[in-house]
Amino acid sequence: MTKRRIGFVGTGVMGKSMARHLMEGGHELYVYTRTKQKADELLAEGANWCNTVGELAKAVDIVITIVGYPHDVQEVYQGENGILAQAKQGTFVIDMTTSKPGLAHDIFDEAKQKGIHALDAPVSGGDIGARDANLTIMVGGEEGAFQQMQPIFQLMGTNVRLQGEAGAGQFTKMANQIAIAGTMMGVSEAMAYAKKAGLDQEKVLASIETGAAGSFSMSKLAPRMIKGDFAPGFYMKHFIKDMTIAIESAEELGLKTPGLVVAKKLYQELADKGEGDSGTQALYKYYTTYG
């Protein structure tokens, strides 16, 4: 594989592992994050620090971002000191944040005018998928850019698909989050029900996770619920953000999503009780602690 200079913006719960895989793949890594301490491990392993996103964009051939919210995406990409203003012609920019489809399209249009290749590529798999380089990566953009970035994507994920033009990756991620929202309610209710019925939750889980009820949430997050482990593999506050985007997008498409609306309401109630920095599996607490 050709060694590339890759800039990585956002080294949080998932980003740190994703960036590490790029270094392990033989690439030269440049990093920027608002809290430099979050990048300390990567810097100790050989990554280069940049003081601004603009400085990073000037130094690399590929920029990958995974930040928190759509306004963070706008902040790092747009404006005179943003990535699009500072990156050289021919640079590839890949936003892996879960963000708004319309914003992804805007970034693509602005990038194309400047001779920059833009892809929206949100991911699914949480901290475990990021750690194991087993993420699902949903991509929107041009076929040529996607094919050129395949070797990079494959260092971070195993299920990598081009879904369509700019914004299609974000639309696909919204479909993913809609499915997860309902599934998380079902898994949380099932585990709370088993406990209330006086059953051994681990035995119940062993029986039902391999049948029709099986899912990632059942196999990976239900065990955390049972153990009382609510550390974030994916922050509840970020899932609320995703559900908000999905609801707004569905409304724009003329689609009703009553299950998604209920799930967001339950998660928001927990966040209002101080659980926003907990993992999404903390929905279990709605039934066992706060219910």
**Residues recognised as catalytic:** 173
Axis-axis angle for helices 201-208, 168-196 (nearest 10): 130
Paired tokens of 151: 């070797």
Half-sphere exposure of 78 (CA within 13 A, CB side): 14
**Cβ-count burial of 209 within 10 angstroms (0-12 exposed, 13-18 middle, 19+ buried)?**
middle
Closest CA to 62 of 145, 146, 19, 5: 5
**Helix, strand, coil in percent for the chain, rounding step 5:** 55, 15, 30
The CA-based dihedral angle spanning residues 94, 57, 115, 122, taken in that order and rounded to the nearest 10 degrees = 10
